Structure 1
Amino acid sequence: MKLTFLDPVYASPGPYACAYLDTSRDVDDPETAMGLRRRHVREELAGQGADTATVAAVAGAAGADRRVAGRHGQAIFASHGHLVLVDELPEPPAHDAARFTRLPDVLPLVVQHAPDIPYTAAAVHRVTHADTGAPEELEVDFQAGRWPSSMVSPGVRHHRRGPADQWPRGAARIAAELAELAYGSDAEAIVVSGTPWARNVLVNRLPRQLRERVVAVAGDGRGAGPGRALMERELEAAFRGRLSARDRARMETFLAQRARGGGAVEGMADVVAALQRGQVSALLLNTPVQFWGPLWTGSEPTEIALSPAELESFGVLGCQEGPAGAALIRALVRTGAELVVVPRRELPLEEGVGVLLRYTDPGTRP
């Protein structure tokens, strides 16, 4: 998974106010509940020394995702009085949290972006008019997204409708639009549901390359509330336990390199050493994420160590202690490395972390 969506966060020098909030709308009187959360965030950040403008920026964004129905959360990051990133969470945090810190703790956010599968979804429905006797119609809704973040941050939903008796011709036009959307979003899966015969006609009008990516699922695609992904339940069923093609390839390369005894390492000490050298192509992270001890960091992303003495031996002064996840993700983003989130049951890693290396000789680059 590429982490470029975090670039705006690190464009600011910090310190950062960070908040993770449950902003679900499936509760009694959500506005009152959100008001209490907003007040708690203000008090927490002010108590930790955050400036008034930054506190106001976070509080102003808290709960602004009213357009998203149902259960979800929100991650908010601000610095020097300005928002640097606001993102909806498919799953709300177990507990609300607000921190004012030198490094932003974005790990809970990035884990919820995984496996980051690009897809397009299409649902085909029969529309009858028994009351008026008008001819039967078919309607199609389709949308592109990246699972699971699109669950609460969906793309534009397209809607088409036409006579059922002209469906072969209508399906060809819609298939052309669907193909354009799929190619434009680099979709690795085309998930389709709805009336079987009409769905099959639509699939058969797609280019062969896309037909090979089709995943047909049960369900009618209905039921997604405002601000939610089209075919949310069907997508969950299709992608459960699946990695993106890119992440799967990274994991297989890691396994091959590890078997050969070079090009891949695991365990926190070796991972940190590789990050110090800017040597990491991708970091593999086990979920559920285990709680590591803190890491020490300087101002540069490669200034990361298990102890302050180690950084001081490199001539780094003024290093600070902080959560390991915050330090690891900053180093990945700022050195252009990727993240692969993989369940521990599928690939258990020493201390829950491993890295695929860009090069094996510290003195040379590929």
Structure 2
Amino acid sequence: MQLTFLEPLVHRPGPWATVYVEPSQNDEAGAKRRELAVTEACRALEEQGADAATVEAVRDALSGIRPAEDPAGRVVFASQGEVVLSHRLSRPPQRQIVSWAPLPRLAPLVELCGQDPACLVAYIDRTGADFELRGAAGPQDAGQVEGRQWPVHRTASADWSERRFQLKVENTWEHNAGEIADALSSAYEESGADLVVLVGDPRERPAVHQKLPDPVRKVTVETEHGGRAAGSASPALEEAIAEACRRFTRDHVDEALDRFRAVRVGTGKPAEAVEGVPALVEAAREHRIETLLIRPDGAELGRETWVSDEPDQVAARRTDAQALGAAEPLSVRADDALLRAAAATAADVLFVPPTDEQDSSDDVPVGGLGALLRWTNEPVAA
């Protein structure tokens, strides 16, 4: 999961109001529950010490949320009388979360926004393709490509002239497959997608797949469901895309955990991964975190950590923060401090399933916080 969408929060000083809103039904009873939830959230912020202007900004933002637009709920971040960011959730929170703290309450995002990949869907036929990017912001148009429009239909005749025509048709298909593959590769690079799903014509789809460059082909899957024509969407297509995303996420998490465990058992380089707050804050200060691992039931997520207004000024002790130049260090949760640092340095963040979903002896990472590193501090051999 990339946290680049949190950029508006990274360098702005707090304190911060954070509210994770549960979804509700779009009916009269649901409207009353939403009104009550808004009142309770604002009261909780006031009790925690939030200023009146920020509480009012949050009230306005929460009152404007519509279930049809946010079926899984939404998170609102506000500071100094202004809502700085409002973001839809991928999964509903089990309860409403309300926080007034020096930093935005970021840790629930890892689970509630999910870590589904940005998925580029290519709807293909023999004349071209339409591209759609699916991510946290919902489906977005990602362009299209049109190849040769004639000839594209074969005939049933065995006449020699018809056979020549059919060869021209097949040449058109082959040419268009190359055009689609080139355009799809460009769309993949420009969109920042993690995964590509090919939908459509059963003959053209594998031809496009074969012509993709290796880096794109490795993250591309096909589905027999759906097509480019209007009205070809179906529940089967949506489930196929969702399953491709789930499989990609599982593989991505498993690969990261395998690298982490390799360090544990001594088959990987010791400096390639760290766990525990002291080691993590050092890596965050030096912008070395490539992938931050968070296990939600970890004991160290709420450990006291010290920060300043700058996201890379984070320390395990108050005196260390002062030594870094923070005149008035702020006491914050370790998970929120590390997530802010990860967002500032474009690090990846992965949600690790709680220990009750895996072998209890395989406590990865210890305390619930760990990281794979971009580079190490190991001395260079002479």
Matches of residues 109-148 of structure 1 in structure 2 within 5 Å? 109-123=109-123, 142-146=131-135
Task: Compute the TM-score of the two structures, normalised by the length of structure 1.
Answer: 0.72
Shift of residue 104, structure 1, vs aligned partner: 0.7
Residue 285 in structure 1 maps to residue 293 in structure 2 = yes
The match for 1:355 is 371
1:16–1:138 Cα change, 3 Å: same
The partner residue of 1:340 within 335, 350, 362 is 350
Shift of residue 247, structure 1, vs aligned partner: 7.1
2:105 aligns to what SS in structure 1?
Answer: coil
Instruction: Tell which deviates more after alignment, 76-85 or 240-249.
Output: 240-249
1:27–1:307 Cα change, 3 Å: farther
Shift of residue 88, structure 1, vs aligned partner: 0.7
Unaligned 5+ residue runs, structure 1? 126-136, 225-229
2:271 aligns to what SS in structure 1?
Answer: coil
Does the aligned pair in 2 maintain the 1:296–1:319 contact within 8 Å? no
Shift of residue 334, structure 1, vs aligned partner: 3.9
Task: Compute the TM-score of the two structures, normalised by the length of structure 2.
Answer: 0.70
The partner residue of 2:274 within 251, 262, 265 is 265
Could you say what the CA RMSD is over the residues aligned between the two structures, in angstroms?
4.3
The partner residue of 2:233 within 222, 225, 242 is 222
Shift of residue 102, structure 1, vs aligned partner: 1.1
Instruction: Tell which deviates more after alignment, 162-171 or 31-40.
Output: 162-171
Shift of residue 55, structure 1, vs aligned partner: 2.0
1:248–1:85 Cα change, 3 Å: farther
Shift of residue 8, structure 1, vs aligned partner: 0.6
Judging by fraction of residues, say which structure has more helix.
2
Q: Whole-Å Cα distance in 1 between the matches of residues 131 and 99 of structure 2?
A: 39
The match for 2:163 is none
Matches of residues 202-351 of structure 1 in structure 2 within 5 Å? 202-205=205-208, 207-209=211-213, 210-211=216-217, 213-217=219-223, 219-220=225-226, 222=233, 232-243=238-249, 254=260, 259=266, 260-275=269-284, 277-278=285-286, 280-292=288-300, 293-299=302-308, 300-308=310-318, 311=321, 318-334=328-344, 337-343=347-353, 345=358, 348-351=364-367
1:360–1:250 Cα change, 3 Å: farther
Q: Whole-Å Cα distance in 2 between the matches of residues 60 and 337 of structure 1?
A: 33
Does the aligned pair in 2 maintain the 1:297–1:305 contact within 8 Å? yes
Shift of residue 95, structure 1, vs aligned partner: 0.5
Q: Whole-Å Cα distance in 2 between the matches of residues 316 and 188 of structure 1?
A: 38
1:46 corresponds to which letter in structure 2? E
Shift of residue 7, structure 1, vs aligned partner: 1.6
Shift of residue 30, structure 1, vs aligned partner: 4.0
1:356 aligns to what SS in structure 2?
Answer: strand
* CA distances 1:61-91 after superposition (whole Å, capped 9, x unpaired): 2264538557412111111122221111110
Q: Whole-Å Cα distance in 1 between the matches of residues 247 and 130 of structure 2?
A: 26
2:190 corresponds to which letter in structure 1? G
Asked which structure has the greater CA Rg, the reply is: 2
Instruction: Tell which deviates more after alignment, 153-162 or 30-39.
Output: 153-162
Q: Whole-Å Cα distance in 2 between the matches of residues 323 and 66 of structure 1?
A: 31
1:200–1:55 Cα change, 3 Å: farther
Shift of residue 93, structure 1, vs aligned partner: 0.8
2:54 aligns to what SS in structure 1?
Answer: helix
1:291–1:21 Cα change, 3 Å: farther
1:322 corresponds to which letter in structure 2? V
Q: Whole-Å Cα distance in 2 between the matches of residues 25 and 178 of structure 1?
A: 39
Unaligned 5+ residue runs, structure 2? 155-168, 227-231
Paired positions, count: 339
Judging by fraction of residues, say which structure has more strand.
1
Does the aligned pair in 2 maintain the 1:284–1:342 contact within 8 Å? no
The match for 1:9 is 9
